[in-house]
Structures are given as structure tokens and as C-alpha cells.
Amino acid sequence: MRSPKTSPDYVGLVKFLMQPFLESPESLSVDCEVSHTLKRVWIRIAFDSKDKGKVFGRGGRNIQAIRTVIAAAAGLAGQSVYVDMYGSNLGREGMSSEDDHQERSPEPKTPDKTVNIPKPVVKPRTR
């Protein structure tokens, strides 16, 4: 069993999980801050914005899987983890893993505004 002062190698884990998605792995920057008293970990990740599509994946599947693995490692150590993404033009900057549970669904497609469809008229019932 691990002692309470020992934490997983979050920086190594993030690099291991993210580098395969990056065209330029040297652009990956990982900062990790561990609070042993609060049992919380803050991980800040930055990478080149041209790799955003591969890192996030279709529907955010890749980044969600990475966050899940990091959260599982933190859970085994008795810690909670907050993962923040930084970089130029990243769509989900500063989102923590808790925010991920409230996934943003794509905006519903609205009908073309140029088509004039008459709205039904509601007439009151008379007896």
C-alpha cells in the first residue's frame, strides 16, 4: 500500500498518453501541482493548437479517455484531479475534469430562416 505522501507520476503519465497524438511532441508542456493536505492535484497541459483535433478526437473521445486514466490514477492514490488545457485557440480552455461530466452537446440545427412556414393558429374552443 502506498503512503499518503506518494503520488503517481502525473507528468510522465500525461506525456505517455498524449505524445502519440502530437505531430510535434516537443510542444507538449505539462505542469503538475499536488496538494497533499487537500488531496488534490492540478494538471495544466499545453500543446500546439494544430494538434488539437487529434488530441481531442471525434466528439472529444480521446481527451475524455486521457482524463479518465488520469482520474483513475488519482483515485488510486486517494486524490482528486483537475485537468486544464491551455494553448492558442483550444476550444475547451481551462476546463477541469469535473466540468467534463457536463459534456456540451452540439447545438441543435435550426431550420433555414429563409423559408417562411406559417405557424398554426390556435383558436379557442367554444361550447
The predicted structure's pLDDT at residue 118: 72
Of 43 and 102, more confident: 43
Share of the chain above pLDDT 90, in %: 49
- DSSP character at residue 112: P
Task: Please answer whether residues 81 and 41 qualify as being in contact, where contact means their C-beta atoms are separated by less than 8 angstroms.
Answer: yes
Q: Which H or E run includes 85? A: strand 80-86
Average pLDDT of the chain is: 79
Q: CB under 8 Å to 4, separation ≥6 — which residues? A: 36, 78
The predicted structure's pLDDT at residue 13: 96
Closest CA to 45 of 74, 87, 77: 87
The predicted structure's pLDDT at residue 102: 40
Please tell me the pTM assigned to this model.
Answer: 0.63
